[in-house]
Homo-oligomer: A and B are copies of this chain.
Amino acid sequence: MSTVAYCSFIWGSGYITARARTRTHRSLQKTEEQKRRIMSVLRKINPTLQRICICEQENLGRRAMQITRELKQGVKKPYKELVDVSIGDAHRGGMKPITFVRQVIAACIYPELLHDSALPADVKERAWRLMRECDGGSVGSYTEACGIPYVKSSVSDFITRRDGGVPASPENILISSGSQTALMFVLSLLVHGEGSAQTGVAFPVPTYSSFAMALDELGAEMVPYYLCEEEGWALRVEELRRAVRASGLHCTPRVLYVINPSNPTGNVQSRKIIEEVIRFAAEEKLVIMADEVYQDTVHEEGIDFVSYKRVLFELGPPYSESVQLASFHSVSKGFMGECGLRSGYVELVNLDPAVMEQACKWLSAGSCSAVTGQIALNIMVDPPRPGDPSYTMYSQEVKFKKDTLTCNVRRVQEVLEDIPGFTCQAVGGGFYAFPRLHLPQRAVQRAKELGLEADLLYCTRLLEEEGVCLEAGSSLGQKEGTHHIRLCLMTSTKTLEMVLKRLKRFHLRFLKEFA
């Protein structure tokens, strides 16, 4: 597909328009008098917040919570249990936590357990080690705002090992309440200006919806570049160049956001692509924000995750000395799936020391992230080693999770290939499948009449009729005229089978209804 053809894709058929539409749609339910009153009240608050409009996907999420409550209250539905695989939450999907993680946190929280003979010696040693790093020996004390120095060191060692010896340094690591907080922090540092000086942030389409909301909130200019579905959702540098160059006419592109392995597409970038992206960022003087939270979950055989940091350093000068990079990871999206503990980190590379100093000053005005999360992060980057009492169990649990995910990936592709109206690109990594829906024209027409995107109508009906909550492609961004759904595969086998059974039943009924 040529660059010109890419240019003709219309951005905005996705969540941005959906959000504007929601606003209109909901307003219709209010009287003119009510609307006037609301507007006069809203004028008194921060205008950025006045703009915020919930997307239909969030309404879907709210409806899912409501249905769960109704089921608890005994309301009759065609199903007994709601299954929500709309977001990447492993434990919600029935995956179990890793025992070593939970044992160490429990021992730090309640040190009486250190006298309990049931806990393995390495659990106790790690708990002692971590508690020694806390003021007053308690996880109830504040830590330094950027995280416990010992945990930062362990993150730094992990990165060095992962990247085949490319050096890392604890001073460049900031620990936060999850990767999203760190992403917002780095964006806040870089986004400024108005008119042609306004910071442009290039990001892939599709991407998860809260990223675009963050850009909107910070006042960044959105510079979407489209991933190529036909090539397994590959990032193509010519499309990236087109998007960035075009945006240069009305803003100042400063940031390039990439996510590898990809949410939602499952694409895993090759070293060659990463090299091209880095060379491009160097040409255009863009800061690379590399979201690498799915780095632990590459399931395609023969493919390995390679970090942007590693490729950057292996490219050598001038790249390794000049390209500014922020790389993110998290305990939520790795094999641990500990979303509720809230922890992640960003490694900042090649940032000017003056900027780093300002960033640290800004951070130090805030509080630290939750210490329990910092402990989970320490274990993620420094797990039990061969010979340690917990090594066997830890390895088995991690392997079980990875195997389950790999099986789920195969299984979902197998099932969807067999149903008419689905095509699904290979899922190389990450937590999700993002199959394309080929819907009957009548269904698309019906959705239009209702003021909805067709995939959102599909997801809404699926939720009501079968109790399965998915994310609609329209809230993630997609080529105009295409429709997709995203489902999280980081679930137990049982959960996935339930989802697939209900999805298939609904899908065939839906196709028949609109045939």
Q: Which residues of A contact B (CB under 8 A)?
A: 37-38, 41-42, 44-50, 52-54, 58, 65, 84, 87, 89-97, 102-103, 105-107, 109-110, 112-113, 116, 118, 134-136, 138-144, 177-178, 180-181, 188-192, 210, 213-214, 217, 254, 336-342, 352, 354-355, 358-359, 361-362, 364-373
Given A106-B113, A177-B370, A142:B341 Cβ within 8 A: no
Are B358 and A52 in touch, CB under 8 angstroms? yes
Given A139-B340, A340-B143, A49:B90 Cβ within 8 A: no
Given A46-B188, A109-B109, A143-B340, A367:B178 Cβ within 8 A: yes
12 sampled A-B residue pairs with Cβ under 8 A: A44-B254, A45-B192, A48-B192, A54-B361, A91-B140, A106-B109, A140-B337, A140-B340, A178-B367, A181-B367, A340-B370, A342-B370
Given A141-B89, A141-B339, A372-B109, A52:B135 Cβ within 8 A: no
Are B210 and A365 in touch, CB under 8 angstroms? yes
Nearest Cβ in chain B — how far from A439, in angstroms?
28
**Given A116-B116, A138-B340, A210-B365, 8 other A-B residues pairs in contact with their CB atoms under 8 A:** A46-B191, A106-B106, A106-B107, A140-B339, A217-B362, A340-B368, A341-B372, A342-B369
Are B373 and A370 in touch, CB under 8 angstroms? yes
Which chain B residues lie closer than 8 Å to A65 at the CB level? 144
The residue of chain B having its C-beta at the shortest distance from the C-beta of A359 within the complex is: B49
A37, A109, A362 — most chain B CB neighbours (10 Å): A109
Given A47-B192, A341-B140, A372-B372, A362:B177 Cβ within 8 A: no
CA distance A116 to B109 in the complex (A): 16
List the number of copies, as a whole number.
2
Are B342 and A367 in touch, CB under 8 angstroms? yes
CA distance A368 to B177 in the complex (A): 10
Are A358 and B49 in touch, CB under 8 angstroms? yes
The residue of chain B having its C-beta at the shortest distance from the C-beta of A94 within the complex is: B136
Are A46 and B144 in touch, CB under 8 angstroms? no
Which chain B residues lie closer than 8 Å to A87 at the CB level? 142
CA distance A46 to B199 in the complex (A): 10
Q: A93 contacts which of B94, B136, B178, B210 (Cβ < 8 Å)? A: B136
Nearest Cβ in chain B — how far from A432, in angstroms?
16
Are A138 and B97 in touch, CB under 8 angstroms? yes
Are A42 and B109 in touch, CB under 8 angstroms? no
Are B144 and A89 in touch, CB under 8 angstroms? no
Are A367 and B180 in touch, CB under 8 angstroms? yes
Are A41 and B361 in touch, CB under 8 angstroms? no
Nearest Cβ in chain B — how far from A170, in angstroms?
13
CA distance A217 to B188 in the complex (A): 11
Are B189 and A45 in touch, CB under 8 angstroms? yes
CA distance A65 to B143 in the complex (A): 11
Nearest Cβ in chain B — how far from A188, in angstroms?
6
Which chain B residues lie closer than 8 Å to A134 at the CB level? 91, 340
A92, A110, A364, A366 — most chain B CB neighbours (10 Å): A110
CA distance A109 to B254 in the complex (A): 42
Nearest Cβ in chain B — how far from A346, in angstroms?
15
CA distance A397 to B38 in the complex (A): 49
CA distance A391 to B355 in the complex (A): 52
A93, A105, A340, A373 — most chain B CB neighbours (10 Å): A340
Q: A110 contacts which of B89, B102, B368 (Cβ < 8 Å)? A: B102
Q: A105 contacts which of B110, B342, B361 (Cβ < 8 Å)? A: B110
Q: A364 contacts which of B58, B105, B110, B136 (Cβ < 8 Å)? A: B58
Q: A355 contacts which of B42, B337, B342, B362 (Cβ < 8 Å)? A: B42
Given A45-B190, A358-B45, A370:B372 Cβ within 8 A: yes
Which chain B residues lie closer than 8 Å to A92 at the CB level? 135-136, 138, 141-142
Are A139 and B341 in touch, CB under 8 angstroms? yes
Nearest Cβ in chain B — how far from A30, in angstroms?
10
Given A46-B192, A52-B358, A102-B110, A339:B91 Cβ within 8 A: no
Given A109-B106, A340-B368, A355:B139 Cβ within 8 A: no
Nearest Cβ in chain B — how far from A329, in angstroms?
15
Which chain B residues lie closer than 8 Å to A118 at the CB level? 112, 116
Which chain B residues lie closer than 8 Å to A58 at the CB level? 361, 364
Which chain B residues lie closer than 8 Å to A52 at the CB level? 358, 361-362, 365
Nearest Cβ in chain B — how far from A480, in angstroms?
25
Which chain B residues lie closer than 8 Å to A95 at the CB level? 136
Are B358 and A140 in touch, CB under 8 angstroms? no
Which chain B residues lie closer than 8 Å to A53 at the CB level? 361
A65, A106, A337 — most chain B CB neighbours (10 Å): A106
